Structure 1
Amino acid sequence: MFVGRTGELDILNDALARAATGEPQALLLGGEAGVGKTRLVEEFGAAVCRRAATVAVGGCVEIGADGLPFAPFSTALRVLRDALPEEFAAAVAGQEEELARLLPELGETGPGRPDERGTARLFELTARLLERIAARHTVVLVLEDLHWADASTRHLLAYLFRTLRTGRLLVLATYRADDVHRRHPLRPLLAELDRLRTVRRLELARFTRAEVARQIAGILAAEPDPAQVDEIFERSDGNAFFVEELAVAAGEGCCTGLTDSLRDLLLVRVEALPERSQRVARIAAEGGSTVEYGLIAAVAGLSEDDLIEALRAAVGANILTATPDGDGYRFRHALVREAVADDLLPGERSRLNRRYAEALEADPTLVPAAERVVRLAGYWYHAHDPARALPAVLDASVVARRRHAYTEQLRFLERAMELWDTAPAEVRDALRPVDYTDVYPPPLPERRGGTPSGCDPATTPLRYLDLMAEAAAAGRFAGERERALKIIKRALRLLEEEPDPLRAAWFWVQRSRVVQALARGDGWPELSTAQDLVRGLPPSEVHAEVLAEAAGWSMLHRPGPEAFAAAERAVEYARMVGAREIELNARLTLGGLMVDAGDTEAGLAEMARVKEDALREGVRSVAGRAFVNLPSALQAVGRSREAVPLLREGTAFAREFGLLDTEAWVWGNLSDSLYTLGRWTEAADAAEHALRVGHSAKPQGAGALRLAQLALARGDLAEAARHLATAGARYGCHDPVPQQSLRVVRVAIGVAAAQGRVLDARAELRAALEAGFPPGTQRYAWLLLLAAAVAEADARALPAAADGRAEILDRLRETARGLTTGAPVWLAHQQWVQAELHRAEGRDTAEVWSPVVAAFECLDRPYDLARVRYRLAQTLLAEGGEDGRERAVELLRLAGAVAGHLGARPLGDAVARLAQRARLTLAGTPRRAPDPADPAEALGLTGRERDVLRLVSAGRTNRQIAEELFISPKTASVHVSNILGKLGVSGRGEAAALAHRLGLFPDGTLAAPAAG
Structure 2
Amino acid sequence: MVATPWDAGGPELVGRDGDLAQLTEVINGVCAGKARTVIVSGDAGVGKTALVRRACASAPPDALMLIGGALPLASVDVPFLALRSAFRTAAARVVGTLPAPELSGDARPDVLVQIDEWLTAQSRLRPVILVIDDLHWADQSTLDVLMYILAGPGDRPLGVIGTVRTGEVRPGGALHQWLADIRRLPRMDVHRLGPLDRPDTEAQLSQLLGAPPHQSLINDVYTRSAGNPYLNLLLVEGLTAGARHLPAGFPPDLKSAVLRAWRGLSAGARELTQILALGGRAASAAELRAVAGSAVEPDGVLPLLHLAVEAGLVDLAPDGTYWFHHPIIAEALEQGLDAGERRRWHAAFAAVYERQLDDGARPDAAVAVSLADHYDAAGRPADAYRWALTAADLASANGALSDALRLLRRTVQLRAALPDAVEQPRDLWDRLRAAARESGAMAQELEAIEILLACIDKAEEPLEASHLMVRRMHLQLSTGQAFFPMADIREAVRLSAATPRRWEHALALAELVHASMWHSEPGADALAYQALALARETGDQRALSYALTAAAIVANTAHRFTESRDLAAKGAVEAVRARDFWAYVHATYWTGNAQDPWTSAEYADLLCRARQELMEQGAPHAYISKIAATEAASYLAVGAWRECRAALRIALSLDPGPMGDVDARLTAARLAQLQGRHDEAAVHLARADELYQENSGYLNLTFDAIRAEVHVAAGRPELAFTAAMAGATGPGPAPTMCEWLLPLAARALADQAQRARDLGDPTAELLVAAKELEQRFPGVLHERVGHAALYNRQVAAFELLYTAELGRVRNEPGSAAAWARTADAFGAALLPWEEAYACRRAVELLLLQGHHRSPRAAEFLRRGLTLATDLEAVPIRVALERLAAHARIPVAPVTATPLTLAARLPGLTPRERDILEFVVAGRTYGEIARGLMISEKTVSSHISNLLRKTGAANRVDLARLASGAGPVSNGSA
Q: Normalising by the residue count of structure 1, what TM-score does the alignment of the two structures yield?
A: 0.52
In the alignment, which residue of structure 2 is the partner of 1:244? 267
Report the secondary structure of 2:542's partner residue: helix
- Could you say which structure has the higher helix fraction? 1
Q: In structure 2, which of residues 708, 721, 726 is the aligned counterpart of residue 762 of structure 1?
A: 721
Match status 1:829 vs 2:798? yes
Q: Which moved more, 1:828-837 or 1:815-824?
A: 815-824
Give the distance between the partners of 2:646 and 2:774, measured in 1 at CA.
Answer: 34
In the alignment, which residue of structure 2 is the partner of 1:404? 399
Change (3 A) 1:762 1:337: closer
Give the C-alpha shift of residue 785 in structure 1: 0.9
AA of the residue aligned to 2:396: R
Give the C-alpha shift of residue 833 in structure 1: 1.6
Q: In structure 1, which of residues 745, 753, 775 is the aligned counterpart of residue 733 of structure 2?
A: 775
CA contact (8 A) 1:628 1:650 kept: no
Q: In structure 1, which of residues 847, 855, 860 is the aligned counterpart of residue 830 of structure 2?
A: 860
In the alignment, which residue of structure 2 is the partner of 1:803? 765
Give the C-alpha shift of residue 806 in structure 1: 1.7
Report the secondary structure of 2:803's partner residue: helix
Q: In structure 2, which of residues 709, 720, 745 is the aligned counterpart of residue 750 of structure 1?
A: 709
How do residues 534-549 of structure 1 correspond to structure 2 at under 5 angstroms? 534-548=496-510
How do residues 374-385 of structure 1 correspond to structure 2 at under 5 angstroms? none
In the alignment, which residue of structure 1 is the partner of 2:298? 315
In the alignment, which residue of structure 1 is the partner of 2:664? 703
How do residues 284-683 of structure 1 correspond to structure 2 at under 5 angstroms? 315=298, 363-365=359-361, 369-370=364-365, 393-410=388-405, 412-413=407-408, 428=422, 464-475=425-436, 487-496=448-457, 499-509=460-470, 511-512=472-473, 515=476, 519-522=480-483, 524=485, 527=489, 529-548=491-510, 558=519, 561=522, 568=529, 570-588=531-549, 590-591=551-552, 594-595=555-556, 598-611=559-572, 622-623=583-584, 630-631=591-592, 636=597, 640-656=600-616, 657=618, 659-683=620-644
Let me know the Cα RMSD of the aligned residues: 6.6
Report the secondary structure of 1:739's partner residue: coil
How do residues 112-127 of structure 1 correspond to structure 2 at under 5 angstroms? none
Give the C-alpha shift of residue 526 in structure 1: 5.4
Aligned length: 679
Give the distance between the partners of 2:395 and 2:257, measured in 1 at CA.
Answer: 34
Change (3 A) 1:728 1:904: same
In the alignment, which residue of structure 1 is the partner of 2:745? 788
Change (3 A) 1:382 1:606: same
Change (3 A) 1:885 1:544: same
Amino-acid identity (%):
21
CA contact (8 A) 2:41 2:193 kept: no
Give the distance between the partners of 1:287 and 1:377, measured in 2 at CA.
Answer: 12
Provide, for residues 467-517 of structure 1, a one-character-per-residue CA deviation record: whole Å limited to 9, x for no partner.
321123334656777766665444333324984222333444455555556
Change (3 A) 1:399 1:864: same
Change (3 A) 1:492 1:624: closer
Report the secondary structure of 2:456's partner residue: helix
In the alignment, which residue of structure 1 is the partner of 2:924? none
Report the secondary structure of 1:636's partner residue: coil
CA contact (8 A) 1:354 1:380 kept: no
Q: Which has the higher contact order (CA 8 A, sep 6+)?
A: 1
AA of the residue aligned to 2:723: E
CA contact (8 A) 2:408 2:428 kept: yes
Give the distance between the partners of 2:841 and 2:167, measured in 1 at CA.
Answer: 70
Q: Normalising by the residue count of structure 2, what TM-score does the alignment of the two structures yield?
A: 0.53
CA contact (8 A) 1:410 1:474 kept: yes
- Which ranges of structure 1 fall in alignment gaps of 5 or more residues? 1-13, 30-39, 54-134, 142-153, 165-169, 195-199, 212-237, 249-264, 268-280, 301-306, 429-461, 927-1012
Provide, for residues 32-68 of structure 1, a one-character-per-residue CA deviation record: whole Å limited to 9, x for no partner.
xxxxxxxx99976757999699xxxxxxxxxxxxxxx
Q: Which moved more, 1:396-405 or 1:601-610?
A: 601-610
CA contact (8 A) 1:520 1:734 kept: no
CA contact (8 A) 1:691 1:702 kept: no
Give the distance between the partners of 1:190 and 1:46, measured in 2 at CA.
Answer: 38
Give the C-alpha shift of residue 399 in structure 1: 0.9
How do residues 149-160 of structure 1 correspond to structure 2 at under 5 angstroms? 158=222
Provide, for residues 793-843 of structure 1, a one-character-per-residue CA deviation record: whole Å limited to 9, x for no partner.
344342365425423442344235584586412233224323432442344
Report the secondary structure of 2:455's partner residue: helix
Change (3 A) 1:493 1:609: closer
AA of the residue aligned to 1:898: L
CA contact (8 A) 1:624 1:654 kept: no
Match status 1:902 vs 2:859? no
Give the C-alpha shift of residue 394 in structure 1: 3.6
CA contact (8 A) 2:822 2:838 kept: yes
Give the distance between the partners of 1:893 and 1:312, measured in 2 at CA.
Answer: 79
AA of the residue aligned to 1:315: P
Give the distance between the partners of 1:836 and 1:727, measured in 2 at CA.
Answer: 29
CA contact (8 A) 2:625 2:660 kept: yes
Change (3 A) 1:46 1:505: farther
In the alignment, which residue of structure 2 is the partner of 1:1005? none
CA contact (8 A) 1:140 1:171 kept: no
- Which ranges of structure 2 fall in alignment gaps of 5 or more residues? 1-15, 24-37, 47-164, 179-188, 196-217, 307-315, 324-329, 895-973
CA contact (8 A) 2:219 2:655 kept: no
AA of the residue aligned to 1:864: E
In the alignment, which residue of structure 2 is the partner of 1:119? none
In the alignment, which residue of structure 2 is the partner of 1:841? 810
Give the distance between the partners of 2:706 and 2:407, measured in 1 at CA.
Answer: 48
CA contact (8 A) 2:709 2:720 kept: yes
CA contact (8 A) 1:632 1:669 kept: no
Give the C-alpha shift of residue 290 in structure 1: 6.4
Provide, for residues 905-955 of structure 1, a one-character-per-residue CA deviation record: whole Å limited to 9, x for no partner.
5445665677788x68567599xxxxxxxxxxxxxxxxxxxxxxxxxxxxx
In the alignment, which residue of structure 2 is the partner of 1:432? none
Report the secondary structure of 1:504's partner residue: helix
CA contact (8 A) 2:350 2:374 kept: yes
Give the C-alpha shift of residue 783 in structure 1: 0.8
Change (3 A) 1:536 1:760: same
CA contact (8 A) 1:519 1:735 kept: no
Give the distance between the partners of 1:725 and 1:156, measured in 2 at CA.
Answer: 21
Give the distance between the partners of 1:386 and 1:709, measured in 2 at CA.
Answer: 51
Provide, for residues 355-393 of structure 1, a one-character-per-residue CA deviation record: whole Å limited to 9, x for no partner.
986x6776224x865556557778999999999997765
Give the distance between the partners of 1:386 and 1:711, measured in 2 at CA.
Answer: 52
Change (3 A) 1:47 1:816: farther
Change (3 A) 1:392 1:549: farther
